[in-house]
Structure 1
Amino acid sequence: MKIQLLGLMLSLAVTGASASGIGGDTTRTYAIPTVSLTPKGTVALSWTEKDDRNIVHYYWAESKDQGRTFGEKKQIFESPGMSGSRLMRPKLLFKKDGTWAAVFALRGDVPAAAASTGGHEHHHGGEAPKAPSGRPSDLQIVFSLSKDQGKTWSAPAPVHADRTPKVVRGFFDATVLANGEIGVAYLRDIDGRPHERDLRFVTSSGDTFGGETVLDPFVCDCCNISLLVDDKGILNLYYRENQENIRDIAKMTSSDNGKTFSKPQILFADNWKINGCPHSGPTSAAGPGGNVISWFSGTTESPGIRLVTQEGKRLLVIADASAKNMYLAAGSKSAALLWEQQGTESDQTVLAYRTVKKDGVSEAKVLGKTANGTNASGVIAGNRLVVAYEVKNSRNKNTLAFESVEL
């Protein structure tokens, strides 16, 4: 089991494969690496790079050897307004009709000239654009399509029909539904009620999106959502509720591809009451024993990351006070729970994982030499867990790394 820092000459010499400069530009800040499986069964890695002119570039690359090496990077989009937050991780999705879709958050208006140029970056002259900072006051969720397996991409367009300006729409998740279309769930500002948000859902129809449905009129305002289409084709939606500041995780299900949903139910009654948003929502995966869901709760009874079944049975609690940023990866024989925690050195974090099978959950293992690892995502390809993550560096210029380990 060996860590591979993307773009470094040592790694290239060992693997003999070209990483095409992924992660090797020290002038850039790398963020939100996300891995998924393509329809061919290969691993797709997407991530963002912020250059010294405040332009955020959104890329993807493919691995044909279960995450051991990655090929040439291709650009999807670029803009100073693109969001790279772990609470609204950009999603690269593959529709059943062969169309690829990228869904991501964007501040301000969509710049028409910022569409992909077939893998080539734009060259910007004049003064560097001003990077958005602070709490966003205008945020939308957009999608871009590719009809040639990720080589070129359409100009992005909002997934929501509502065009009200100066409104935050975010903390989203997106997935491919059982009928091959795309579903997007997100939070939106409630008109006239600052810093309060509702939960909405929208689905695609071909190359466009339809009208929005409000699923919950008042929810926890800054936690990410998790969408999961399980092995039966049921759409599961997990989010953090807010009932008089009790912020437990709720679930809804849809058996008709998002046309209708069940009433919200609390997945597990932590009864965590907090006057403020935890900025930490759920993650979910379909494992061999059914759906599993993980999130953080600060309840005094058992604080920490918990892992729970669809039926609300609690499988474990990671009580380490430093454990955070969990992520669930799905596989046919097992699922894997990833998180970051304090390492043996007081100023470093490491990544750890447990496998989840029908007969129980494994003991925790540290994932390779993942010193200073953060914001990990994972996917199970065959019998290997492929993990991509940021590496914290000085001057806040994080790099990227990935690891592939046999389960």
Structure 2
Amino acid sequence: MKKVLLFYSLIIFIFSSCHQGNNVPSISLSQEENIDSAQSSCPFLTKDNNNNIVLSWVRETGSDKAIVCYAVSKDKGKTFGNAIDIPASDNVYPHGENMPKIIFKPSGEIIAVWGAANKNPMNAYAGLVYYSISFDNGKTWAPKKLITNDTSSYDQRYFDVALLPNGEAAIVWLDNRKTTNKEGSGLYYAITKDNGGFQNEKLISESCCQCCRTDLFVDKSNNIHVLYRAIINDSIRDIAHIESKNNGQTFSRPERISNDNWVINGCPHTGPCMTENKEGLHCTWFTGGNEAGVYYTSLTHSDTAFSNKDMVSGYAAKHSQIASLPQGNLITVWDESLPVNDTYSTCIGLEEKSPDDKNILRRYITEKNSGASFPVICTVDKNKVLVAFTKSSNDKKTVVFKQVAFNN
């Protein structure tokens, strides 16, 4: 029986190879490079006001001490320049789901945002969101500021930032302040004004799962989108989408991107992500509802609701991020726990879809025992992305990056 199965498998392989020839989709991976020789974690990728790729991370500087750093690449992510420290960030609390972020305004102003611990009688796991601004290309940095001056706010976490069409920066974050007694956090929104930092904060939605990353995205039509994990009917924790079509003055009522109906009395610490191509908006997220795993959905320009979800990878996959290539192909990355000998280790997976959501390839881009987690992704050019992640080996964490090129 085994010989028969082997024979048919060989026939299928030969048949497939003959018909696909050299057109089989594949990728090329560069060597992994460490961004820092010190203990480090929490990578984040963005681009500066000159369209250079920027990688930020948290460097541990001693026992329970760390600082936010970033470096700029002048060769499309092949190498990075010297690390630039942000002195005011010495209270940063490293967390892969609540990673620090850097945003570059067209004016040249640079804003670094990070989370810090804020243990208190109200919430032993509470945090605060701080930011610091540089007006001289990172040479000097202003003293840190809290994201809000409201003293009733004692828990701020899981933020995201984005540039607005007018060149200002926007931020969303989860906050203990809300108008309901139901469990969860409020979702807040604020914007910068000239050189004055973030201002005019306001509550834009509630109730939100307290410990999942939010996603703030501005589309090509200048509409502002926010994704977050909502708490629905006191027990369901599904991903919700809200939108502003008037420059953030008002936001729509939340709508689920997928009716997963995940009932969980806790937080999975894994949030959603959104990107865009000519077809419309595209999202990835993790759910434990029905069949657990990382999923994908889209909202095309001709549709009024998100498409039926498509599984990217199974229950052991989490922390997904998505980006689009210039021609519209969609690249999703995630981390996944896999059995290795008598234990488990995490690795990084990658999926490519065509602009109209057809699956092209899916594979791991690190060894199955690589100890890699919390990947982030940035488009490099028409057929290449940069992926950075935290890699754990021999009780040491380092931030690693590598390029992925697509041949199709």
Q: What band does the TM-score fall into relative to the shorter chain?
A: 0.7 to 0.9
Q: Which residue number corresponds to residue 334 of structure 2?
A: 339
Partners of 2:315 and 2:59 in 1: how far apart?
A: 31
Counterpart check, 1:151 vs 2:143: no
Deviations 1:100-151 (A, max 9, x none): 111212235xxxxxxxxxxxxxxxxxxxxxx99xx75553222211222223
Bigger radius of gyration: 2
Counterpart check, 1:46 vs 2:35: no
1:91-170 pair list within 5 angstroms: 91-108=101-118, 136=124, 139-164=127-152, 167-170=154-157
Partners of 1:291 and 1:95 in 2: how far apart?
A: 24
Q: Which residue number corresponds to residue 76 of structure 1?
A: 86
Specify the code of the residue in structure 2 equivalent to 1:175.
A
Distance change >3 Å, CA 314–CA 37, structure 1 → 2: farther
Deviation at 1:270, TM superposition (A): 1.2
Deviation at 1:190, TM superposition (A): 4.0
On the 8 A contact 1:177/1:229 being kept in 2, the answer is: yes
On the 8 A contact 2:52/2:73 being kept in 1, the answer is: yes
Specify the code of the residue in structure 2 equivalent to 1:330.
S
Q: Which residue number corresponds to residue 175 of structure 1?
A: 162
Deviations 1:373-406 (A, max 9, x none): 11111101113110111111233x2112110121
Specify the code of the residue in structure 2 equivalent to 1:377.
V
Partners of 2:133 and 2:163 in 1: how far apart?
A: 14
Partners of 2:313 and 2:398 in 1: how far apart?
A: 29
Counterpart check, 1:237 vs 2:234: no
Q: Which residue number corresponds to residue 399 of structure 1?
A: 398
Deviation at 1:169, TM superposition (A): 0.9
The partner residue of 1:277 within 262, 267, 277 is 267
Partners of 1:31 and 1:274 in 2: how far apart?
A: 28
Distance change >3 Å, CA 356–CA 99, structure 1 → 2: farther
Deviates more, 1:185-194 or 1:316-325: 185-194
Partners of 1:137 and 1:24 in 2: how far apart?
A: 30
Deviations 1:70-94 (A, max 9, x none): 1111102355531221222211111
Q: Which residue number corresponds to residue 111 of structure 1?
A: none
Residue 87 of structure 2 aligns to a residue in which SS?
strand
Specify the code of the residue in structure 2 equivalent to 1:185.
V
Residue 97 of structure 2 aligns to a residue in which SS?
helix
Partners of 2:293 and 2:125 in 1: how far apart?
A: 32
Partners of 1:398 and 1:259 in 2: how far apart?
A: 42
Distance change >3 Å, CA 276–CA 137, structure 1 → 2: closer
Residue 241 of structure 1 aligns to a residue in which SS?
strand
Partners of 1:54 and 1:240 in 2: how far apart?
A: 30
Report how many aligned residue pairs link the two structures: 362
Partners of 1:79 and 1:37 in 2: how far apart?
A: 20
Structure with the largest fraction of strand: 2
Partners of 2:365 and 2:390 in 1: how far apart?
A: 14
The partner residue of 2:364 within 363, 366, 373 is 366
Residue 363 of structure 1 aligns to a residue in which SS?
strand
Specify the code of the residue in structure 1 equivalent to 2:212.
C
For structure 1, which runs of at least 5 residues remain unmatched after alignment?
A: 7-21, 109-130
Counterpart check, 1:57 vs 2:67: yes
Deviation at 1:356, TM superposition (A): 3.0
On the 8 A contact 2:183/2:207 being kept in 1, the answer is: no
Q: Which residue number corresponds to residue 206 of structure 1?
A: 194
Deviates more, 1:359-368 or 1:242-251: 359-368
On the 8 A contact 2:319/2:374 being kept in 1, the answer is: yes
Identity rate, percent: 25
Residue 326 of structure 2 aligns to a residue in which SS?
coil
Deviation at 1:155, TM superposition (A): 1.4
Partners of 1:325 and 1:40 in 2: how far apart?
A: 29
Partners of 1:178 and 1:39 in 2: how far apart?
A: 14
Residue 247 of structure 1 aligns to a residue in which SS?
strand
The alignment's TM-score, normalised by the length of structure 2, stands at 0.82
Deviates more, 1:359-368 or 1:375-384: 359-368
The partner residue of 1:188 within 167, 171, 175 is 175
Counterpart check, 1:2 vs 2:30: yes
For structure 2, which runs of at least 5 residues remain unmatched after alignment?
A: 1-28, 300-304
Deviations 1:240-291 (A, max 9, x none): 1111211111111112221211111122211112222222221111234221
Residue 87 of structure 1 aligns to a residue in which SS?
helix
Distance change >3 Å, CA 79–CA 149, structure 1 → 2: closer
The alignment's TM-score, normalised by the length of structure 1, stands at 0.82
Q: Which residue number corresponds to residue 292 of structure 1?
A: 282
Q: Which residue number corresponds to residue 18 of structure 1?
A: none
Specify the code of the residue in structure 2 equivalent to 1:23.
D
Deviation at 1:195, TM superposition (A): 6.5
On the 8 A contact 2:350/2:362 being kept in 1, the answer is: yes
